[in-house]
Amino acid sequence: MAAGYLVGAIPFGVLVGLAAGVDPRREGSGRTGATNLLRTVGRAGAIAVLVLDVLKGVAAVLLAAWLYRGVGASWIVAASGVAAIVGHIQSVFIGFRGGRGVATAAGGMLAIAPLAVAVLAPVVVVVIWRWRYVSLGSITGALLGPVATGALAATGAGTIAAVGYAAAAAILITVAHADNIERLRNGTERRLGTKEAVRGDG
């Protein structure tokens, strides 16, 4: 679990942003995830961060599965995936700041319950396409995660540990989006495609 946290805490958003001459912690929403990189750095940087953040979740889960094969291994693996999400949101390497955990959570889910990702991904894409709010799509996907994994577990195609992972991820992601939820309620949330003015002072 500690290893999962440290993997999740790698601040790829900051590294990619600084390579492009922008510190995402000081621009836009101040978050280090792909959405803020899209607004402050551009598409290429956002795609790079998205892929790397997803891989953090995958790596944390696979590392735990490799290191631990004892009693309750599925729960340890799930807990390591959750720890990676916490690491991404509260990274020890950048003063316990970070992103909102969505991509890393998706990576963990991809490794733990790939069928759930296949079900949820189209829903998230449709929500973002229809309303142009990345935050709304992210929260929707997170909250539906326990439902999808629960349905899979009920049919024997998934595990209860995966349901636990999805439930924990849903809580963490929803809490991390508290400011977005407030802006959605007020009608002031930024839509996808909105660019942020960057100070350009490095």
How much is the mean pLDDT over the chain?
95
What integer pLDDT is reported at residue 194 of this predicted model?
Answer: 74
Please provide the DSSP assignment of 180-202 as one string. HHHHHHHT-PPPTT---------
What integer pLDDT is reported at residue 199 of this predicted model?
Answer: 63
Average pLDDT estimate for 36-41: 95
Average pLDDT estimate for 94-123: 98
pLDDT at 171 over 80: yes
Task: Give pLDDT tens digits for 124-150.
Answer: 999 999 999 999 999 999 999 999 999
What integer pLDDT is reported at residue 202 of this predicted model?
Answer: 45
What integer pLDDT is reported at residue 196 of this predicted model?
Answer: 67
Q: Band of the pLDDT at 68, cuts 50, 70, 90? A: very high
pLDDT at 200 over 70: no
Average pLDDT estimate for 86-99: 98
Give the whole-number percent of the chain exceeding pLDDT 70.
Answer: 97
What integer pLDDT is reported at residue 193 of this predicted model?
Answer: 77
For 158, phi then psi, to 5°, come to -150, -175
